[in-house]
Structure 1
Amino acid sequence: MEKRIFDYKRFIFGIIFGITIIISIFFLNRYEFFFVLIVLIALSVYEIFGLFDLSGYKYFILPEILSISVAFSFAFLKENLFIFTIFLSILLILFKNIVFFKKDSGKSIFLDIFSIFYAGFFISFLLKIFELSGGRLLLLFLFILVWASDIFAYYGGRRFGRHKLFLSLSPKKTIEGSLAGFISAIFVALVFRAFISDYEQFTLVFFIFLSSVTIIAGMTGDLTESLIKRIGGKKDSGYLIPGHGGILDRIDSLILAAPVFYYIIVFYWKF
């Protein structure tokens, strides 16, 4: 039986998710956009704990609150208050696991700490990009870059994939698919730059460098989530988005790509 290449459900719900994100970027202010990030962070933390069968509210409520607090302090407060928020969060996590110690507390404490950085801290970089000069357009470019890489890697792998990338980690990912995603995303980035005059502030060499490193970071983010799912023994992080899985399955590439993208641009402008 011939393998079906095009997944209509994945395509339709991918378009809906994409339109929602684009509307959020261009029609919301910084506080409204942060509320969108709160939803993403809360769902991400919930799915992280669900991957390890700790989906009860007693496990994920505190790390959700702390993850959102870390994101807020990083996005809106001064650096010393951000550091204090992380310090206080870790103290509260330790206190919670000591007071309510159970046989799964060892697993819970690491997920607690992991979630405030992986979900709360990393996702908050989307707002940091949003607030840069020309940040809305930069954020759109980041999403398009990551989406192009994901889409072409997915369909390129299904059509041409022969050699596994990391068989033990993610059996469906192939070297051919990754190359298709990388090359296609670079091409999309160059087309985007050609039509958007704002990107003339970046030299062509820097633009290709920015795009390349961001794509690699996004692929690493995708593999990171595959690692988490493999450890948790799950195929998908959830079932929220038909054809895609959970919210983590949809934004895993962005979680690492966003901070890399942000710091490359900030350092470029600074120096």
Structure 2
Amino acid sequence: MNKVVKRLLIFFIGLPAVLGVIAFPFPNDRYLLVNIVIMIASGLGALETANLFKKKGAQLHPVLAFSLGIIFPLFTYLELMGITSRHVLMAVLTIGVTLIFSSQVIGKSNEDFKPVISRIGGYLTSLFYPGLFFAYTTRLSLTNLVDQSYPYSPYPLLIFILMTYGNDSMAWFFGVLFGKKSRGLIAVSPNKSLVGFLGGLFSSCVVGLLIYLVIPDLSITKLPIVLLWGFLTGIMTILGDLIESAIKRSASVKDSGDIIPGRGGLLDSIDSLLFAAPVYYYLLIWILY
């Protein structure tokens, strides 16, 4: 089975499965299921980030890297559920960062100090990438978009997934079919084409337009704002993909892992979401309020 077929299967099977998980309120409309998926994905993404640092000689403990990766999504969810306050997240982050630094001192021999900077950098990056950005998908899963009678609406996250994965998929589709002559413009990802980027941006804007036309109950009334929403989300989707490409080039690897057939690692599949999520979220808040 070639890579194109694998990628198409992921799109036609994987994407509907993801949308189904998002649309299924479990339990008690708290969207626990989708947030468990978000936490696991964030932890695995952090683990793959740690493995990329390993390629550069930083030996990071996999369990610690995974645990760091779930901090932001986990405590964001607990805060939004009213179980903890934002001060708890800050306290956990402060303790975690303190332990990261202090662990490089206690019980170390002279030979252990040379890679200290690499290890600290690896752990801190695993804490924030993808966790900090992925936590915004948790916020989106619990954002009211219809009215106060639907306090945990799935619409924001569903629209976000359609905008970002639609962008990613259409960029690949247009790039493969029409983009051969416009490749090599961006050094960090020479196989990406200008035609592909434009196709992806167009897809994000079209999703915004369709949402505007198909779901009239949403509190979105101005078409130019909706198109701007899709355009800026699309820009950040592309940026997220390019940033991960830069990290992988630094580690001299093609994929962050091999967990997903046809796409590589989990980080290769969520990279487009990461920097788009906070931009999409704050634009959503601006549009609604």
TM-score normalised per structure 2:
0.84
1:108 partner letter: R
Deviation string, structure 1 residues 151-209 (Cα, Å, up to 9, x no partner):
11112112222233554311111112101211233123312331222335342121111
1:226 maps to 245
Instruction: Kindly indicate whether residue 78 of structure 2 is the aligned counterpart of residue 76 of structure 1.
Output: yes
Instruction: Kindly indicate whether residue 18 of structure 2 is the aligned counterpart of residue 21 of structure 1.
Output: yes
Percent identity over paired residues: 27
2:129 maps to 118
Alpha-carbon contact 2:22-2:154 (below 8 Å) kept = yes
The one of 134, 143, 148 equivalent to 2:166 is: 148
Higher-helix-fraction structure? 1
* d(CA) in 2 for partners of 1:166, 1:95: 43
2:32 maps to 31
1:171 maps to 190
* d(CA) in 2 for partners of 1:46, 1:260: 25
Alpha-carbon contact 1:59-1:108 (below 8 Å) kept = no
Please give the residue correspondences for 1:1-271 in structure 2 after superposition, counting only pairs within 5 Å.
7-29=4-26, 30-53=31-54, 59-77=61-79, 78-99=85-106, 101=108, 102=112, 103-134=114-145, 135-161=153-179, 162-164=181-183, 166-199=185-218, 201-270=220-289
* d(CA) in 1 for partners of 2:21, 2:158: 10
TM-score normalised per structure 1:
0.89
For structure 1, which runs of at least 5 residues remain unmatched after alignment? none
Alpha-carbon contact 1:74-1:121 (below 8 Å) kept = no
* d(CA) in 1 for partners of 2:277, 2:217: 20
* d(CA) in 2 for partners of 1:148, 1:159: 16
Q: 1:52 to 1:66 in 2, by over 3 A?
A: closer
Alpha-carbon contact 2:39-2:74 (below 8 Å) kept = no
Q: 1:184 to 1:268 in 2, by over 3 A?
A: closer
* d(CA) in 1 for partners of 2:141, 2:284: 12
Q: How many residue pairs are counted as aligned between the two chains?
A: 266
For structure 2, which runs of at least 5 residues remain unmatched after alignment? 80-84, 146-152
